Amino acid sequence: MNSFSLSSLLHDALRAHAALGRRAFLVGDQVVSYSAFADRIEAYASGFGHAGLSRGDFVGIASAKTVECVAAFFGAMRAGLCPTVMEARISSEELASRMGAVGMRLLACDEADMPGGCAEALAGIDARAVPLASMASDAPFNAPALTEEDRALLLFTSGSTGRPKGVLLSHGNLMANARGVSAHTGVTAADRLLHIMPLHHTNGINNQLVVPLLAGAEIALVERFRADDIVDCLRHYRPTYVTGVPTMYSRVLAKLESGERFESLRFLRCGSAPITPALHEAIEAAFGVPLVVSYGLSEATCTTTMNPPNARKIGSIGTVLEGQELALFQPGTDERVAPGQDGEIRIRGPVLMQGYIGAEVESPIVDGWLRTGDLGRFDSEGYITITGRIKDVIIRGGENLSPGLIENQLEKHPTVKECCVVGAADADLGEVPIAFVVAQAGSTLDLDALREHVMQGLSRVYVPARIHVLATLPTGSLGKVDRNALKRMAAQPNAAAA
């Protein structure tokens, strides 16, 4: 058994960076050194270590996105516990439901971020909430010798059951992800990340805290994403890279001054949701740097493929990270597809989760392979492209249609800012594509012209049966387009359509 862990690796790295006088965090005009940050982790490790919990127990952190929140998270992990960060504005009922589902007995939270009725809800599951600040302690504490197999992180993820479901990750999982991402991006102590993602998301922790902290980079910590503020953040912090989701970048484009460049930037990263080639090109044209698209799932820790910053391909999710294996299979079988064909993406390697906890749901890991439900295709250079989702494929009259192909074609039209295509039941054809589109500022959408535009690039069967015009596309907490909400809209028989 390996006696090494992410906590010990991080502890040694932070102290090494501290000895070189490096800065860990920038928050507004405040600077937090690696030395001060390492000390805060040790203080929280002591507090959590004396909280009467057992090795591997789950603890929740409900706090604004601050350096103290980050230090508490890594402190709990160093104490041998398995932390999770709860998202902002979570209800007391949902909080208690999650904690009860996994047997979590302690929640450390900012008093300002504690939802109303929290104490009463937690009392019902024999759990308690304590002020986050009270968990920092100067009492002597010897950190346990953790291993790769120890629990390190719990991520709550949405599912179809409606019951809380947690993804359980180990120290080994987190280290394997960090090695692969670091090798692909080449992040060093000379880098500065603009951190705009939430901390309850795997990317916000694994790729935007663990990776830069191990490298000795600086992290400009922004409490929450606001499109109106990002340009000022770019000017003030002068980051070398930024990570976001497509919707974030789309909303920032309208805020940029024409021709303005941010000389410190060397690349942008994008993941967590599909991006169309049209939006990709618009982002690169506006910022003047490569946009590096990546792909991954919480069940595989975070990232499995990524475009190299200096060799990105538009439309691709990149190449497979070091230490992981990705193969394409015929859906529902153990047969690999032939070169150049579409197949279900399956992942194997040391990043695969330890399992789900909470809701009793079937594991997507079968015979050592994580079945993602995504369809993809390799090119001759080892780059992979997502071609659809097994469950999102629209079966029109027996023919399989990819929503992504229709979306990409629609967004090539100059009047379309963004769009989403979903399937809806049809009495004659079984299922038909329904498009939801948002117009470019100052443009008027000609729906007949859009239908003609789809036929020019694809074929008649891909033309949406209805096109709905929206002011904005509905999104979830991470900025991803909420396809389920659109499917519900498309299923309404009396919905306004054109």
Q: What CA–CA distance (Å, rounded) separates 139 from 54? A: 18
Residue 330: CATH number of its domain: 3.40.50.12780
- Report the pLDDT value the prediction gives residue 246, as an integer from 0 to 100: 85
pLDDT in tens, 442-478: 899 999 999 999 988 887 888 999 999 999 999 876 6
- Report the pLDDT value the prediction gives residue 415, as an integer from 0 to 100: 95
Q: Are residues 213 and 157 in the same domain?
A: yes
Q: Burial level of 50, CB count in 10 A (0-12/13-18/19+)?
A: middle
Residue 431: CATH number of its domain: 3.30.300.30
**Cβ neighbour number for residue 348 with a 10 Å cutoff:** 17
Q: Are residues 319 and 379 in the same domain?
A: yes
The answer to whether residue 173 sits within a structural domain is yes
Give me the residues paired with residue 475 across strands: 481
- Report the pLDDT value the prediction gives residue 495, as an integer from 0 to 100: 55
Q: Which residues contact 336 (CB under 8 A, 6 or more apart)?
A: 327, 328, 329, 330, 343
pLDDT along the chain (498 residues), means of 10: 82 98 97 98 97 96 94 98 88 85 91 69 84 93 95 82 83 98 96 95 95 98 90 95 88 86 94 82 94 95 96 95 96 91 95 92 94 93 89 78 87 93 85 94 93 88 94 82 90 62
Give me the residues paired with residue 436 across strands: 420, 468
Q: Are residues 378 and 409 in the same domain?
A: no
Give which of 402, 415, 471 is closest to 447, Cα–Cα: 415
- Report the pLDDT value the prediction gives residue 1, as an integer from 0 to 100: 40
**Cα Rg of the chain (Å, integer):** 23
Q: Are residues 437 and 356 in the same domain?
A: no
- Report the pLDDT value the prediction gives residue 162, as an integer from 0 to 100: 56
Q: What CA–CA distance (Å, rounded) separates 38 from 24? A: 10
Give which of 349, 362, 353, 357 is closest to 321, Cα–Cα: 349
Q: Are residues 354 and 450 in the same domain?
A: no
Q: What is the DSSP string of 78-133?
A: HTT-EEEEPPTT--HHHHHHHHHHHT--EEEE-GGGSPTTHHHHHHTTT-EEEEGG
Phi-psi region of 259 (alpha: psi -120 to 50; beta: other; left: phi over 0): left
The answer to whether residue 64 sits within a structural domain is yes
Cα angle for residues 62, 63, 65 (degrees, 5° grid): 130
Reading the block at residue 312, the tokens are 């990105």
The answer to whether residue 62 sits within a structural domain is yes
Q: Are residues 367 and 438 in the same domain?
A: no
Longest Cα–Cα distance of the chain, Å, equals 72
Q: Are residues 398 and 381 in the same domain?
A: no
Q: Burial level of 385, CB count in 10 A (0-12/13-18/19+)?
A: middle
Q: Which residues contact 326 (CB under 8 A, 6 or more apart)?
A: 304, 305, 320, 345, 346, 347, 348, 384
Give which of 59, 22, 198, 345 is closest to 207, Cα–Cα: 198
Range of the domain at 421: 394-491
Q: Are residues 24 and 87 in the same domain?
A: yes
Domain end among 357, 389, 421 = 389
Report the run of H or E that residue 152 belongs to, with start and end. Answer: strand 151-156
Give which of 291, 345, 353 is closest to 320, Cα–Cα: 345
pTM: 0.83
**Cβ neighbour number for residue 344 with a 10 Å cutoff:** 21
The answer to whether residue 301 sits within a structural domain is yes
Domain end among 343, 373, 389 = 389
For the chain, the domain total comes to: 2
The answer to whether residue 496 sits within a structural domain is no
The answer to whether residue 181 sits within a structural domain is yes
Q: Strand 128-131 to strand 192-195: parallel, antiparallel, or no bridges (unpaired)?
A: unpaired
Q: Are residues 316 and 433 in the same domain?
A: no
Instruction: Give φ, ψ of 97 to 5 degrees.
Output: -65, -45
The answer to whether residue 58 sits within a structural domain is yes
- Report the pLDDT value the prediction gives residue 343, as an integer from 0 to 100: 93
Domain end among 339, 355, 389 = 389
Cα angle for residues 15, 20, 26 (degrees, 5° grid): 80
Cα distances (angstroms) measured from residue 300 to each of 58, 98, 191, 304, 364: 20, 21, 26, 7, 11
**Cβ neighbour number for residue 364 with a 10 Å cutoff:** 18
Q: Are residues 373 and 400 in the same domain?
A: no
- Report the pLDDT value the prediction gives residue 132, as an integer from 0 to 100: 93
Q: Strand 267-270 to strand 241-244: parallel, antiparallel, or no bridges (unpaired)?
A: parallel
Q: What CA–CA distance (Å, rounded) separates 421 from 450? A: 13
- Report the pLDDT value the prediction gives residue 478, as an integer from 0 to 100: 67
DSSP 8-state symbol, 289: S
The answer to whether residue 497 sits within a structural domain is no
Q: Are residues 312 and 274 in the same domain?
A: yes
Cα distances (angstroms) measured from residue 114 to each of 90, 118, 155, 201: 9, 7, 19, 19
Q: Are residues 439 and 304 in the same domain?
A: no
Q: Note whether 424 and 480 are within 8 A (CB).
A: no
- Looking at every residue in the chain, the average pLDDT score rounds to 90
